[in-house]
Chains A and B, each alone.
Chain A
Amino acid sequence: MKLEIKDLYVEVEDKEVIRGISLTINEGEFHVLMGPNGSGKTTLSRTILGHTKMKVTKGDILIDGESILKMPTDKRAKLGLFLLFQSPIEVEGLGLLNFLNTAKASLQGNLPFKEFMEEVKETAKDLHVKEDIIGRSLNYGFSGGEKKKIEVLQMRLLKPKIAILDEPDSGLDVDAVRVVAQNVNDYQQRTKAGLLLITHYSRILNYMKPDFVHVMVDGKIVKEGGRDLADRIEKEGYKF
């Protein structure tokens, strides 16, 4: 699957946040998007998934050459897009298992429950997620680290073709960052999915091997390069 963002301009509540971004992610490619707070990274990720608050005023987003701008969010997910949320929502009363089962059934059709449970348990084990969490409400009362791990767990279960990971490392301790990074790496290697990882820091990249690094400032991509660009940002900040 190929994701193309072409000269994209986006407004949020009448304020222009994205100002002419172009980016292409091909199958198996690993892109990193870095930038200071407020540069528009999260807005871009939500726009790709079709959040109704994000108004595209110019440009296009295409999957395999077809525009998806008019598609509702669930249809975009069905095409194979996935967003790992920076701040996953909490829904008291919605069992995590039920939610995972519903989401998986929506994307892949019904799976025998036993098979589904085995997959959940195995993935949870890989992510060092405690078993009692699986029986609780979706993200309700979870720590920041637990929420992020459950996001990665969802990614692995739902098997997207292109995953946008919005700060999967924020709020995680060193060990958890490593676990999350390893799981994302494993997933990509197995599925050849395209990845767009959004982060402030290069810490998580110590465990990952990105192909491209893009730097976003004030709604625009101002610099592009390889892994060394992330190291430079770590040392010098976002002054270009």
Chain B
Amino acid sequence: MENAEKIVEQAIASYKHMPFETAELYKKYVVNFLLPQGAKAGDGAGIEELRKRITDESRLRFDLYNGKDGLVSGSEFVRVSKKDTREYKEDAKAGFEERLGGYVTSRSESVVEVHIPEGKEAKLNFLFLCDSSSMPLEVVVNAAAGSHLSLFEWFGSSPGSECASMPLHVVNAGDRSNVEVNVLHNEGLETSIGALNKISAGEDSTVRLNGIYNGGRITRSSTFAEAAGKGSNLLVNEIVLGNADQKFDVNTFILNSNQMTRAVLKTGAVLKDRSFCILKGYAKVERGTNGSYSNVEEKGLVLDPDARIQPLPDMSIDCKDVAFASHSAATAPLDREALFYLMSRGVDETKAKRIFVASFLSKYLAEIENDIVKEIAISILLDKLDNGKHSPVPRISMQNLWIVPKKK
């Protein structure tokens, strides 16, 4: 217990150079997506409060930083542009989507627009490197009806670079589209990461966001993912691997807002040394979304006594006729019995631990459809586990990996 308190103190102390962050961190323990006073579950106030918080929180975060865009390898489907950040004036009466979209647009200096036309297929890889002065980077993905997109984004920064990495994603998946967005946060251990994702899945579409949080000194992410179209299938799959003094604050909100939708949040965190992680997964099943499926599952593996994971799953079901709705959380240290079992088969302790952790992570890695991403993620994560090493920039041959699709 003494250790846990010490870690929280250290975490708060580490935010001190940004005064509002202290309050934010503190709020993680006491606010926890509570409904406003007097509000009842199902009356819509909860979601409004949550939406307001996401907007307000993102405002606080991104106002703080200056920025720069990254290096992008483009294709026929990708457009990169610079823009004037002073254009936008917020309309307080506008709806959440408009406000958020406007906000994102206004704060980003660089915009990467991915547009996949109807029925087309694309596999894109982006490498974003930030340095000491970074502006938010906006990635807008628009997958038209029936299109198929597999996107991989590698975020990195130079070792020792005390910069901010702030990607803002807006993903609109059209009807019957199949979209996979893989975001690997592998920035250096001196980099602060602030990530905002907004995802909307159209009718009968399949959308998956695989977020791999490996790098960064402090990481904060807010994801809002909506299974909006009837029959849409949405998965947010998050992997967190922390060591040394890394801190992660991962906030994810999944929403079923139409009938026969499926929205799933799976988060797996493995922490070593003195690292610290808050996982806030919130699911809401809106009224009238009959036949929907919603599940939040947060799992953590703590490898050292000073590491700490705080999972906070939550759920609000406002529909009486759901197919399935559940939320759960579990964290545990390495299972000594499992280690004994593996060692009794001749496997040494170090290898046994590695096998156990890799097995834990494999459940989440298995959700990644893009095999290249899967391979890279496995290699980076295991390297960090085995050697405590962190490789903020790719060590692989860019020539072979970062392929710009040929024009058809």
Contact = CB atoms under 8 A, between A and B. Distances in A.
B338 interface: yes
A180 B8 CA distance: 53
B341 A85 contact: yes
B335 A158 contact: no
Interface string B337-380: 11011111111110110011011111100100000000000000
B341 A72 contact: no
Given A93-B362, A93-B363, A102-B355, A154 B336 contact: no
A96 to B, nearest CB: 11
Contact of B360 (A53, A93, A99): A93
B345 A94 contact: no
A74 B360 contact: no
Give the interface centre of A72, A74, A77, A78 by most chain B CB atoms within 10 Å.
A74
A94 B340 contact: no
Nearest to B365: A93
Contacts of A77: 343-346
Interface of B: 335-338, 340-349, 351-352, 355-356, 358-363, 366
B190 to A, nearest CB: 32
Contacts of B344: 49, 73-74, 76-77, 82-83, 85
23 contacts: A46-B340, A51-B340, A52-B336, A72-B343, A72-B349, A73-B344, A74-B343, A74-B352, A76-B344, A78-B346, A83-B344, A85-B344, A89-B335, A89-B337, A89-B341, A93-B360, A93-B362, A94-B355, A94-B356, A94-B358, A99-B345, A102-B345, A158-B346
B346 A106 contact: yes
B323 to A, nearest CB: 22
Given A74-B349, A106-B347, A158-B346, 16 more contacts: A52-B336, A72-B343, A74-B343, A74-B344, A74-B346, A76-B344, A88-B341, A91-B356, A91-B359, A92-B359, A93-B360, A93-B363, A103-B347, A106-B351, A107-B346, A137-B359
A72 B343 CA distance: 8
A154 B345 contact: yes
A159 B342 CA distance: 16
B336 A53 contact: yes
B359 A73 contact: no
Contacts of A73: 340, 343-344
Contacts of B358: 93-94
Contacts of A137: 359
A106 to B, nearest CB: 4
Contact of A158 (B338, B345, B352, B366): B345
Nearest to B340: A51
Interface string A35-68: 0000000000010010111000000000000000
